[in-house]
């Protein structure tokens, strides 16, 4: 998580009235703050690329063990989820970044 996103999330959590209840939950405050400061599409991207890495690692291990390309059913499901999440990342980034986060950023940083 970048420092800029962290401070924007901190500012948003302290300034936006809907996010004020998050400040009262002290034990989980860092978790909530992290979720507020990360963009939705960034979380989807991290999960998608993690699933892709796990699936490709399992394929590589089977390739080294059996000396042939073996794609198990579970690995196919992981690959499908990874590709769906990565495509969703692109779609969300195109739709949400400019329509939600930019106006919110402009509103919160207005002096």
pLDDT at 85: 95
Closest CA to 19 of 4, 43, 36, 34: 36
Taking CA 24 as the corner, what is the angle to CA 19 and CA 30, rounded to the nearest 5 degrees?
Answer: 75
What pLDDT does residue 71 have?
87
The model scores a pTM over 0.75: no
Contact of 12 with 104, CB cutoff 8 Å: yes
pLDDT at 88: 92
Which tens digit of pLDDT belongs to each residue from 3-62? 666 666 666 555 555 555 555 555 565 665 666 666 777 888 999 999 999 999 999 999
């Amino acid at each position: 998580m970048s420092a800029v996103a962290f401070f924007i999330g901190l500012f948003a959590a302290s300034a936006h009235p809907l996010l004020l209840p998050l400040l009262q939950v002290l034990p989980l405050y860092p978790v909530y703050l992290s979720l507020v400061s990360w963009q939705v599409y960034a979380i989807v991207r991290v999960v998608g690329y993690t699933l892709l890495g796990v699936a490709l690692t399992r394929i590589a291990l089977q390739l080294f063990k059996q000396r042939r390309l073996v794609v198990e059913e579970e690995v196919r499901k992981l690959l499908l989820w990874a590709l769906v999440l990565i495509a969703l990342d692109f779609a969300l980034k195109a739709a949400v970044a400019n329509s939600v986060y930019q106006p919110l950023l402009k509103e919160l940083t207005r002096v």
